[in-house]
Structure 1
Amino acid sequence: MVRLQTFKYVLLAAAMGIALPLPAQKSQKPNIILVLVDDLGFSDIGPYGGLDIQTPNLDKLAGEGLRLKEFYNNSICAPTRASLLTGQYQHKAGVGYFNVNLGLPAYQGFLNKESLTLAEVLKTAGYSTILSGKWHVGDDKDQWPAQRGFDKSFGFIGGASNYYEINDRNKPDVQLYRNNEPFYLEKGKYLTDEITSQALGFLDEQNREQKPFFLYLAFNAPHWPLQAVPEDIAKYKGKYSIGWDSLRVQRYKNAVAKGVIDKSQQIAVHDKDLQSFGKLTWDEQQYWQRRQEVYAAMIDHVDQSLGKLLGKLKELKKDDNTLIVFISDNGAQGGNSLRLYTSRNTGPVGSAGSYEVQNSNWSQTGNSPLRNYKGTPYEGGISAPFIAWYPKQIKAGAIATGTAHLIDLAPTFYQLAGAGYPATFNGVTTNKLPGKSLVPLLTGQTDNVNRAEPLFWERGGNRAVREGKWKLVSTAENTDKYELYDIETDRAENTDLAAKYPEVVKQLKEKYQKWAQENDVVDYSRLRTQPQQGRGNAAAPAGGGRRL
């Protein structure tokens, strides 16, 4: 009788056009938001020492959540995204070098079927899956987000995009897509805003589904080209007259004060290739200040977007049961790739026509107090901020030690979501997850990430191993030379201890070789260095054969 009366009430309400309240969400599984920014340095935001840039929303997330002192990525865009999305080392996922095909399965340039995406696995646990932003792990349409588990998606497929559209809709600079269909950015609209508004719109749509959601919010800022909103740039006018030499030291002291760098640690030795800011002419100083003003404005605008996201969660009454993780794909850009695209400039730095790239001088500040830049196996290349916010679980203001890596996020999310990782998926045997769940860290059961296995890196001939306090490094420029650092006392990697501890070097080299064999890592000199885009135009490996 009760069911019949309820049914009659529903029919009557429908006939009268009355909107009935939706039933409460049955599952208490947490919503999960993964925020990835692009080319952000270790101390480019307030919680990690960058107090010169206004990041109040990141300050809030950090103050109410958890920060890691050491969180590792893969030093560059596509390989990081491959590990992040699959929980695999990049080679095992098929993106050992970049989103280009070098002719071997580990270097095919797109995600393989054996490596399941976060979206594919979380869907099996009843999650809605959403992407807004940059993809960069598969160019062909069958490799796009919608084909790899995302219910709703918006963004661009490749590695970079203008922030403003300056061409007509029939010839966009970089094509955007919404749910596999072409999308055209309105003239004058800033891409960071569009990525944000699309994500918020998707959350509104998802709210009717009565399921938990996973949102992958992948901003391309502050990646080149240096373009920002004029009002944001104006906030930083004159802020950088201090110059990069002084600011990098100030950032180091701020990072110590914030608790993310130990007091005993020193700042990395000054990059010998960089000119002192004080020796520049007045005009040169004005030029370089403007570039950092734009860069700061780009980060500022991402933070504003996070404020809108937090507002949306509160509006939907989902803020208490949502985990937000904020990371960067690598450190700030520097080194040799300084002016790759500036010939395309049609306007001053910061404007819609700018195609300027962030340079080593300010990037050394961005990565302070760590050494080197994006693309390298030093700390400035492979380590960046990690903030986790989950009011229901995480203790406010927590700072954790120990080594965590991209591969740890998949098992963390799956444990929180109650998602089983399948041994087979669509008839394909899946790669096992090598990472370690960080749930004990997030729930306060521990304040340290203790690993049973070392962490490993290889990209373009750059190699590294991290086990305990030790870190072994070998660069592509000198593959026969090995450097050894005690990260517990020398995170700046100022003092090479390889000659003093040859046995440690030997042990770490052996462990690297074992890992490389298990993950189909190839000596980079054996691969052709002229990769071709796309699946069908693979460059053959110089050594021949499909696998080692």
Structure 2
Amino acid sequence: MISLRSFKSVLLAVAIGATLPLWAQKPQRPNIILVLVDDLGFSDIGPYGALDLQTPNLDRLAGEGLRLKEFYNNSICAPTRASLLTGQYQHKAGVGYFNVNLGLPAYQGFLNKESLTLAEVLKNAGYSTILSGKWHVGDDKDQWPAQRGFERSFGFIGGASNYYEINEKENADVALYRNNEPFYLEKGKYLTDEITNQALGFLDEQNKEQKPFFLYLAFNAPHWPLQALPEDIAKYKGKYSIGWDSLRIQRYQNAIAKGVFDKTQLIAQHDGALQPYDKLTYDEQQYWQLRQEVYAAMIDHVDQSLGKLLDKLKELKKDDNTLIVFISDNGAQGGNNLRLYTARNTGPVGTAGSYEVQNSNWSQTGNSPLRNYKGTPYEGGISAPFIAWYPKKIRANTIATGTAHLIDLAPTFYQLAGATYPSSYNGVAANKLPGKSLLPLLTGETDKVDRAEPLFWERGGNRAVREGKWKLVSPADQPDKYELYDIETDRAENTDLAAKYPEIVQQLKEKYKQWATANDVVDYNKLRPQQQQGRSSVAPANAAPSNGTPARKRAN
């Protein structure tokens, strides 16, 4: 028989519960960590074939979690981040081209108010919201993370940053902020470490709050400039004497062995623009080996950072109730000789003051077995690793098929968090979410991503459509040309079937046209003359190279 005191205690508990906010009354909800790296190719980590690299923590996440064979991005930094942060196609979010203004709402270069960020929605649902790292979806202060829902934030605003500070505080070259205030990176400190340490510090602060958290951890590595810690570079000394021709084949074979590429499929045809490695002189080989050693060291250090993150979760006793998603914003960078800033070099490659880039030769390896590079609509440009880890829900060492995209992460996170996506926010009607939740995939209810609608791409005149096994591609330099690939049998995009299946080409062209109209996509060949004639606020044509990499004035 219940005592009077116990009965009163029950009544008090019920009364308190009735006065709590709705989110606080829900069962314990998971923390969500979204890890984004920059310019990492499909096979640039161990779980996807880079057995030449030491990535034990990513190996652990993949071994205890789920990998997707096909996960799509928007081929380049800012458009990918726009879709990732809002769940919208990039044009609908206002970043159709890059973080520059081409004079139209879909190309304004920063996130519009109609596209709600992950932080805005999750904060409204009772989550603490944290960002550490790269932003790149709005340069002006009213467009910064703190103004778009992030309660705690650290990082840099533009498209790239040095990893070391070489100047004094009053003339800092690495322009960082912390919660909207300028932050100085002390000399000798490495930016990847600072991004990690700030995130861990934020988690310590957040631990005092009785709420779940959302952490967006956006590393700039391994994006240029090639700069790494000497001890990390030393791990890879002589590792790449095999050369890019052999390593791309090795990565292809490893990807098959790892289960992320079908053994019946061929590797993409060799990029004929590249000189065979065995035709280089000894000095040339040493020159290029060092660049790959530094690039590998940068990825290695990100993996070390993930190890620190996992340790922090365990310390806070949150490791069994946290979802971690790891992705890249696009494939590895290549396509032309991108030695953009070598005249600015004040130190050897890998050190503070280096402005060297990886370039196409090794990038072809990073994207192996897929075709082409960052900035293009081919698989090597728009597809990269996807790893999801959540001990409570995800079955260990799962490899899933089907086409998933950046736009699917927002509905996934919202469903997992029990967050309601509002029809309006701060008096502004919100864009509807076009993606689909991947939660049934993560929890094992299904083993494949099946889409009712096709996926679409447009960036700088490059266009593509993916529906079922079919993929239509129209490259920017040949806007009247359409290529058709059967991705189920030819993910390397070696054989163009457009002439064989003209009816499929026409169907996908019509669907693209409908999507473009609905998302305010403009023919880039009509938009570009406006840019050149100065009828928009965009910088001069030389402000962004052909692949969309920001010029030096935007690098920090």
TM-score category (smaller protein): over 0.9
Aligned to 2:13: none
Aligned to 2:423: 423
Name the CA shift for 1:265/1:536 in 2 (closer, same or farther; >3 Å): closer
Asked whether the equivalents of residues 27 and 212 of structure 1 are also in contact (C-alpha less than 8 Å), the reply is no
Once the two structures are superposed, the pairs formed by residues 510-525 of structure 1 within 5 Å of their partners are: 510-525=510-525
Aligned to 1:106: 106
1:370 aligns with 2:370: yes
Deviations 1:157-182 (A, max 9, x none): 00000000011111111310000000
Aligned to 2:42: 42
Aligned to 2:123: 123
SS of 2:403 mapped into structure 1: strand
1:162 aligns with 2:179: no
In 2, Cα distance between equivalents of 1:455 and 1:76: 16
Partner AA of 1:486 in structure 2: D
Asked whether the equivalents of residues 38 and 222 of structure 2 are also in contact (C-alpha less than 8 Å), the reply is yes
Partner AA of 2:487 in structure 1: I
Deviations 1:317-349 (A, max 9, x none): 000000000000000000125111211111110
Deviations 1:392-451 (A, max 9, x none): 000000000000000000000000000000001000000000000000000000010000
Aligned to 1:137: 137
Aligned to 1:217: 217
Partner AA of 2:448 in structure 1: N
Partner AA of 1:499 in structure 2: A
In 2, Cα distance between equivalents of 1:474 and 1:374: 15
Aligned to 1:253: 253
Aligned to 2:546: none
In 2, Cα distance between equivalents of 1:465 and 1:526: 21
In 1, Cα distance between equivalents of 2:26 and 2:308: 26
Name the CA shift for 1:228/1:80 in 2 (closer, same or farther; >3 Å): same
Aligned residues: 519
Aligned-residue offset at 1:124: 1.3
Aligned-residue offset at 1:528: 3.3
Partner AA of 1:296 in structure 2: A
In 1, Cα distance between equivalents of 2:114 and 2:226: 37
Partner AA of 1:105 in structure 2: P
Seq. identity, %: 86
Give the TM-score of the pair, scaled to structure 1.
0.93
In 2, Cα distance between equivalents of 1:103 and 1:386: 34
In 2, Cα distance between equivalents of 1:69 and 1:536: 40
In 1, Cα distance between equivalents of 2:87 and 2:158: 21
Name the CA shift for 1:38/1:529 in 2 (closer, same or farther; >3 Å): farther
Partner AA of 2:356 in structure 1: E
Asked whether the equivalents of residues 326 and 386 of structure 2 are also in contact (C-alpha less than 8 Å), the reply is yes
1:348 aligns with 2:345: no
Deviations 1:234-293 (A, max 9, x none): 000000000000000000000000000011010000000000000000000001000000
SS of 1:146 mapped into structure 2: helix
Partner AA of 1:261 in structure 2: F
Asked whether the equivalents of residues 100 and 531 of structure 1 are also in contact (C-alpha less than 8 Å), the reply is no
Aligned to 1:177: 177
Give the TM-score of the pair, scaled to structure 2.
0.91
SS of 2:207 mapped into structure 1: helix
1:186 aligns with 2:186: yes
Aligned to 1:55: 55
In 2, Cα distance between equivalents of 1:220 and 1:529: 32
Partner AA of 1:338 in structure 2: L
Aligned to 2:383: 383
Name the CA shift for 1:159/1:506 in 2 (closer, same or farther; >3 Å): same
Partner AA of 2:173 in structure 1: D
Once the two structures are superposed, the pairs formed by residues 238-387 of structure 1 within 5 Å of their partners are: 238-336=238-336, 338-387=338-387
Name the CA shift for 1:29/1:500 in 2 (closer, same or farther; >3 Å): same
Q: Higher mean Cα deviation, 24-33 or 276-285?
A: 24-33
In 1, Cα distance between equivalents of 2:531 and 2:185: 31
In 1, Cα distance between equivalents of 2:254 and 2:175: 40
Asked whether the equivalents of residues 337 and 360 of structure 2 are also in contact (C-alpha less than 8 Å), the reply is no
Aligned to 2:97: 97
Name the CA shift for 1:295/1:538 in 2 (closer, same or farther; >3 Å): closer
Deviations 1:97-154 (A, max 9, x none): 0000000000000000000000000011100000000000000000000000000000
Asked whether the equivalents of residues 36 and 329 of structure 1 are also in contact (C-alpha less than 8 Å), the reply is yes
SS of 1:528 mapped into structure 2: helix
SS of 1:155 mapped into structure 2: strand
Asked whether the equivalents of residues 164 and 174 of structure 2 are also in contact (C-alpha less than 8 Å), the reply is no
Query: Which consecutive aligned stretches of 4+ in structure 1 deviate over 3 angstroms post-superposition?
Result: 24-27, 528-532, 535-540
SS of 2:35 mapped into structure 1: strand
SS of 1:527 mapped into structure 2: helix
Aligned to 1:395: 395
In 1, Cα distance between equivalents of 2:316 and 2:309: 11
Asked whether the equivalents of residues 466 and 472 of structure 2 are also in contact (C-alpha less than 8 Å), the reply is yes
In 2, Cα distance between equivalents of 1:258 and 1:455: 26
Partner AA of 2:249 in structure 1: V
Partner AA of 2:162 in structure 1: N
1:457 aligns with 2:457: yes
In 2, Cα distance between equivalents of 1:445 and 1:233: 43
1:409 aligns with 2:409: yes
In 1, Cα distance between equivalents of 2:228 and 2:447: 38
In 1, Cα distance between equivalents of 2:25 and 2:129: 17
Q: Higher mean Cα deviation, 521-530 or 183-192?
A: 521-530
Name the CA shift for 1:34/1:151 in 2 (closer, same or farther; >3 Å): same
Partner AA of 1:367 in structure 2: N
Asked whether the equivalents of residues 78 and 98 of structure 1 are also in contact (C-alpha less than 8 Å), the reply is yes
Once the two structures are superposed, the pairs formed by residues 195-214 of structure 1 within 5 Å of their partners are: 195-214=195-214
In 2, Cα distance between equivalents of 1:530 and 1:187: 43
Cα RMSD after superposing both structures: 1.8
SS of 2:479 mapped into structure 1: coil
In 1, Cα distance between equivalents of 2:538 and 2:282: 50
